[in-house]
Structure 1
C-alpha cells in the first residue's frame, strides 16, 4: 500500500518538494502550514524531485528520510531541504541510484547506535546500556560478529533466557529488549531487514511499580537523620535529594545552574530523563546548603573529594547513605526518597500537577499544560510535604 503524503507548506521555511508521510492521518487537510511543536511518534519526510538529465530525459525520484520523535519537525525539515541540491545534481548526471547497502555486524551497529545516542540519552542511562551490552550481548563473539541480517529472535531470546536462568530479575533482562529494539529499528525502516528481531523477545511479566511504605514516624525519623547529618557536603546532598531530585541530577549540578537572583536552579537536559531543561524554585533549605558550601562562580557544586574538576561519585555518597540506614533500621534505596515524596503527596490529595512538577515526571499533555507554573506548584507542594515529615 502506497504511503499517504501531505504537502508541507510552512511560511519562511524551505519546504519545496517535501511531504509528510501521513499514513495514520496525524494531520488533516491537504497541506501542513504550521510546524508542530511536538510529535508523539517517529515520522518520515519524503523529498520528491523532477529534473531533466544530461540525456534530455525527464527523470523523477523520491527519497524517504526517517526521524525520531526527539527530532523537532523544523530540524527534520532543514535536514531534508539540505539534501535537495545534492539529489538534483545526481538526477541530472544519472547518478541518483542508491549505492549498495552496507550490512554492518551487530557489533558495528551497536557502536553506531551508541554514537547516535550520545547527547540524546542521559549519560547514566547510556552507560548502563553499554555495561549491559558488553556483559550479555557483545561477549558472545559469534553473535557480535554476525551481520545484522542474520540475527534471529531465537538468538536474542536465548540471551534473555540465560539471564533468567542465572537468577537475573525480569526487570533487568528487559534491558536487553530495550537496548536492541531501537538498534534494529532504523534497519527495518530502510528495508535492510524485514522485521525487527528484538521486537519479539518475550519477557516474563513483572510488577514495575515500586511501593515504598514507611510509617509517618519512620519518615520523620529519616528526614531528621538526613537534615542533621554531621558531615558536609553529604548533608547538603541529602537535602537536595529530599526535594525530589534524582541522585545523578544532584551530583551533576554546577554553580552555573544556580540563579540566586531569580531564586531558581536548572537541571540541564543532558542530566535528566525527560531530555529537557527543568527549572525549579530554590527553597530556603537549598539556599542554606549553597551558603554552607561557599558559593562559587563555576565548577561542580558537589565535586569529587580529591579532584574538584570531577563530580562526586555515587559510590562515595552511598557509604554515608548506609550510615543513615543503619541508624534508621530500614533498608531503602536513595531513589526511594522520590517514591516517599510521591506517596505522601498522593495521600495528602495533591494534584498530578504538583506531584509531576516536584518529581520531574512529565508527559506531553502535562508538559504543555503546566510548564508555565511548574516552579510555583512544585514549591507549594514541597512546603506541604516538609510540614508533615519534618519535626
Structure 2
C-alpha cells in the first residue's frame, strides 16, 4: 500500500481498511533504508508519531540496535538465560528464573530497559523486605537486575545505565550457626541411615559428605570413578563454577552399591520426569519426614553441611581441611564453624560416620 508523506521528514502514513491513518517511519542507518510501523489513530497522532521517530533515531545514534530497542525486559531475560546456560550451574539458572518470574515479570517485565528506573526496582526490593522475606532474597533480585543490564550491550543495546547497581540492600548477616547435641546428631544419623526410600537415603548420606544439594542431584554416573575411588563435581554443577574431586568413602560406596550402580546418566534421576533431576518439592517432602522423625523442626537440608563443618572443627581439623571437605576455596569461608566446635582428628567424613553412623546400618 502506498505511503503518503507528512510534513515531517522521514514520517509517512497509510490508510488501513477502517480508514484510519497508520504512521510509518523510514529510517536510514548504516546504508540501509528501514521502514518501521509506529502505530495508528486514534492511539497515535501526527505529532506523537514524529516524536517516536526522533526517539528511535536518537537511540540508534547512541548505539542501539533497531531490532532490539523495542524488546521488553521479559524478552531480554529469556535471551540472557540462553546466553548464560553453558557458563553457570543449572541450580543458578533455576533460581534466577524462579525469582524473576515471582518478583519482576509482572511488575516491570513488560517495560523496555530504558523506561525502568532505579526507583521502580528499589520499590520491589522494599516490598520484599517489608513482606518479611529474607534479605538474601532481595539481594538475589538485585543481582538479577544488575546481570540483565550488564548483558544489554551484547544485544547491541548500549549507553543504558545499569540501574541495578544503585539499588540499596541493608547489610545483613546470613550466617547460620548449627549446634546439635550428641543426642541430636545420633537421632539425625539414625533417621537418615534408616530412611526407607533407598534413593533419598543415598542422597542424604551423600549430603553428609559436605556436598551441596545441587551437586548431588546433578551428579552423573560418568563422574564416579570406582576404580580409583574418586568422584568429580564438575564446574557446571558446582556453585562456585570450579571442578573438584573427592574420595569415595566406604560408607558412600556401600550406599551406592545398595542403591544400584549404573554406567551412565543421572545418578538420582527423577521418577516422575525421566532424564531430569528430582524436583524441589519431592526433596522437601522427604526432608520434612526427617525433621519429624528427629524433632529437629528448624534444621534445613543445607544445614547438613554445617553439621559436617562443625564436627570437623570440633575435632580439631584445620580450617583449611574443613574448607576442602566442604568445597570452599578460602579458609575465611569456614570461619563460621569455629563458632560451633574446636578440636582435631584425622579424617572429617570417616570420623563423622564413625562417631554417629548407626552400628546396624
The TM-score, its normalising length taken from structure 2, stands at 0.70
Structure 1 residue 168 displacement after superposition: 2.3
Cα distance change, pair 129–222 in 1 and its aligned pair in 2 (3 A): same
The Cα RMSD (Å) is 2.8
- CA distance in 2 between counterparts of 1:192 and 1:333 reads 43
Asked if residue 215 in structure 1 is aligned to residue 181 in structure 2, the reply is: yes
Could you tell me whether the CA contact under 8 Å between 1:149 and 1:192 is conserved in 2? Answer: no
The equivalent residue for 1:128 is: 95
Cα distance change, pair 186–250 in 1 and its aligned pair in 2 (3 A): closer
Q: How does 1:316-331 map to 2 (within 5 A)?
A: 316-331=282-297
- What 5-or-longer segments of structure 1 have no aligned partner? 1-97, 367-378
Higher RCO, 1 vs 2 (CA within 8 Å, ≥6 residues apart) = 2
Alpha-carbon displacement from aligned partner over 1:256-296 (angstroms, at most 9, x marks no partner): 11111111111222211122222111000111012112222
The equivalent residue for 2:340 is: none
The equivalent residue for 1:166 is: 131
3-state SS of 2:120 partner: helix
3-state SS of 1:269 partner: coil
Could you tell me whether the CA contact under 8 Å between 1:229 and 1:235 is conserved in 2? Answer: yes
Q: How does 1:196-207 map to 2 (within 5 A)?
A: 196-207=162-173
Asked if residue 344 in structure 1 is aligned to residue 307 in structure 2, the reply is: no
Alpha-carbon displacement from aligned partner over 1:168-209 (angstroms, at most 9, x marks no partner): 222212211111112222558999336421111112222111
- CA distance in 1 between counterparts of 2:332 and 2:207 reads 26
3-state SS of 2:198 partner: coil
The equivalent residue for 2:324 is: 357
- Which of these residues, 218, 221, 228, is aligned with residue 262 of structure 1? 228
- CA distance in 2 between counterparts of 1:262 and 1:346 reads 28
Could you tell me whether the CA contact under 8 Å between 2:232 and 2:245 is conserved in 1? Answer: yes
3-state SS of 2:347 partner: helix
The TM-score, its normalising length taken from structure 1, stands at 0.65
The equivalent residue for 1:149 is: 114
- CA distance in 1 between counterparts of 2:117 and 2:269 reads 45
Structure 1 residue 341 displacement after superposition: 1.1
3-state SS of 1:272 partner: coil
| Pairs aligned (count) | 281
Q: Which moved more, 1:296-305 or 1:306-315?
A: 306-315
Cα distance change, pair 145–191 in 1 and its aligned pair in 2 (3 A): closer
Cα distance change, pair 128–310 in 1 and its aligned pair in 2 (3 A): closer
Cα distance change, pair 132–191 in 1 and its aligned pair in 2 (3 A): closer
- CA distance in 2 between counterparts of 1:269 and 1:354 reads 21
3-state SS of 1:139 partner: helix
- CA distance in 1 between counterparts of 2:97 and 2:165 reads 20
- CA distance in 1 between counterparts of 2:315 and 2:220 reads 33
Could you tell me whether the CA contact under 8 Å between 2:74 and 2:110 is conserved in 1? Answer: yes
- CA distance in 2 between counterparts of 1:191 and 1:233 reads 48
Q: How does 1:1-391 map to 2 (within 5 A)?
A: 100-102=63-65, 103=69, 104-140=71-107, 143-187=108-152, 192-193=158-159, 195-306=161-272, 308-331=274-297, 332-363=299-330, 380-390=347-357
- CA distance in 2 between counterparts of 1:212 and 1:344 reads 10
Q: Which moved more, 1:321-330 or 1:144-153?
A: 144-153
Could you tell me whether the CA contact under 8 Å between 2:121 and 2:167 is conserved in 1? Answer: yes
User: Considering only CA atoms, is the larger Rg found in Structure 1 or Structure 2?
Assistant: 2
3-state SS of 2:316 partner: coil
| Stretches (4+) displaced over 4 A | 186-191, 363-366
